[in-house]
Amino acid sequence: MAYQPESVSVLIEHLDSAGFELVRESRGGMGAVQLIYEGVLDGVAAWVEINADRGQWQALLGFGGVGEGHGGGSWAAYLDGTEISSWDIDHEVGFIVERGVEAAAAWRRDPATERKMVEAGRAYMERWYAERRRGNESTD
């Protein structure tokens, strides 16, 4: 396998030991990787997508057969009632390993989890883009 961060190796080992199965593997030019694992966390069907594009790694956690996967920064914000923040791959892996079961329990308790996380993600991106626009306007 081409280079991958140590934290990705840790996540793969964690998923394997938790009974997750690699259901899709895709590798392309310039280091592109997509690995999708499926399994169960706290009685909830779960999936983890590990992907890389030109050296930028990401790990997403999702539940159920549909919906989007979310990074650790989004999950932590949802669970802790804080603002979404960007995390690197090491933090995303740490979240999945350390708090994945907590995320599954929250998903099971609240059927609107997916909708709430998507709405929070959109609001975060709107703020992010607004900040960038304001920064560009001040340099004109």
65-116 tens-digit pLDDT: 667 899 999 999 999 999 888 889 999 999 999 999 999 999 999 989 989 9
Residue 121 placed within a domain: yes
Place of tokens 């990074």: 71
Predicted TM-score of the model (pTM)? 0.88
Burial 15-38 (b: 16+ CB within 10 A, else e): beebebeeeeeeeeeeeebebbbb
> Into how many domains does the chain fold?
1
Report pLDDT for 111. 85
Residue 20 placed within a domain: yes
Report pLDDT for 139. 64
Residue 68 placed within a domain: yes
Q: Which domain holds residue 105?
A: 6-139
pLDDT at 55 over 90: no
Mean pLDDT of the chain: 91
Report pLDDT for 137. 78
The C-alpha atoms of residue 52 and residue 122 are separated, in whole angstroms, by 23
Report pLDDT for 14. 98
Residue 1 placed within a domain: no
129-140 tens-digit pLDDT: 998 888 887 765
Residue from 26, 37, 34 nearest 97 by CA: 37
